[in-house]
Amino acid sequence: MSCCRKPTTTSRVRCKRIIAVRKITPFAQPTCRHHYHQNMERAATNAAKAIIDEEIAENLNIKQLFSALKTFRIADLGCSVGPNTFIAVHNIIAAVEHKYRSEGLDSSIPEFQVFFSDQTSNDFNTLFTTLPLDRRYFVAGVPGSFHGRLFPEASLHFVYSAYALQFLSKLPKEVVEKSSPAWNKGKIHYSNAPNEVVEAYSAQFAKDIQTFLYARSQELVSGGLLALIMPSIPNGTLLSQSFLGIPVELMGSTLMDMAKMGLVSEAKVDSFNLPTYLTSPQELEGLVERNGCFSIMKLCLVDSSMKHNAQSLTMHVRAGVEGMVGEHFGTEIIDELFNRYCAKLEEYSFIFDSDYQKGNQLFVILKRK
């Protein structure tokens, strides 16, 4: 099916609050900070359940599309190693089963097949050895990048991706080229960076979203649903003025402090950039409309109900970036870096005020035309 070109009319529905954190990447062995990180994500998954339930009930037309369906196929893109992906999948299946029963189709409830997908470096062995014994679905692992096709045409009915799309497929090459106007000297991200750096990150994110949406438009059946959860910033807000941007900027300043003390190489700092981008609702809406293959059923910015302090945020950030930092700078600096980082966060304690943490998570439901 070819993609529609005409922008869609969007409808915004007020969302309930979601707790959101990024997935753990399999860089390091589990520690207390990684378990803390997992517990945060589990709370987020549970909080998202009500919204998933509502959207499946309202927007999954099983009588028209799936009444004779034998197998309902679900994909979790960016699944990591569990166990939170299993909770998300359980919630989706329960909502679909409830939808069938509510429409008097108890005898027509299909079997379920779930595809757990992540990068080839993901620890699929751990994922499979921890599968729930009482699961009501068949399982397959699909290694590969979700920025390209992963599944046959029109083979999926529901796609879920949480806290993964903020990671770029690659770092914009301009930000590490000394001859480029976008060379990001002395910084590790685009927060509070020159416009050229911001534009390089934004352009890469736009390319990634377009390839992601195009691939999903080929893989989803008409009427299938795509659920996305990602960290975000409010419309018209600079990343450097947001709760999600300031901690990243402070990480960069901590590394520069260590460079000035001779603890790390300044050249190493100049060549290190985090490959993440935080979009706004308006920016993402425009990218979806440009793709033209999906109707926006829900697109809303919500508050995080997880409240941080310097120690908890340090654990959260460390769980997310420790692998990248260790690979680039060496693992011997890790403990000192994050001790200094925590102290710097305490100096900026105003970011932990409740008003400062509002509206930093984006929840999106798209329906394949």
Residue 119 is part of a domain; what is its CATH number? Answer: 3.40.50.150
pLDDT attached to residue 351: 86
Residue labelled with tokens 């997908």 = 117
Q: What predicted TM-score, i.e. pTM, was given to this entire model?
A: 0.88
**Is residue 11 included in any domain, yes or no?**
no
276/168 Cα distance (integer angstroms):
6
pLDDT band at 11 (very low <50, low <70, confident <90, very high): very low
Taking CA atoms, 141 is separated from 14, 19, 273, in Å, by 35, 27, 30
How does pLDDT run across 236-270, given as a tens digit for each residue?
999 988 888 999 999 999 999 999 999 999 999 99
329/340 Cα distance (integer angstroms):
16
**Is residue 336 included in any domain, yes or no?**
yes
Q: 353-364 b/e with 16+ CB inside 10 Å = b?
A: eeeebebbbbbb
182/198 Cα distance (integer angstroms):
8
290 lies in which domain range? 33-368
Domain count for the chain: 1
Closest Cα partner for 163 from 356, 282, 315, 18? 18
For residue 331, pLDDT beyond 50 = yes
**Is residue 280 included in any domain, yes or no?**
yes
**Is residue 266 included in any domain, yes or no?**
yes
For residue 34, pLDDT beyond 60 = no
**Is residue 254 included in any domain, yes or no?**
yes
pLDDT attached to residue 356: 66
Closest Cα partner for 41 from 86, 101, 92? 86
pLDDT attached to residue 241: 87
pLDDT mean across residues, the chain = 86
Average pLDDT over residues 85-103: 95
**Is residue 258 included in any domain, yes or no?**
yes
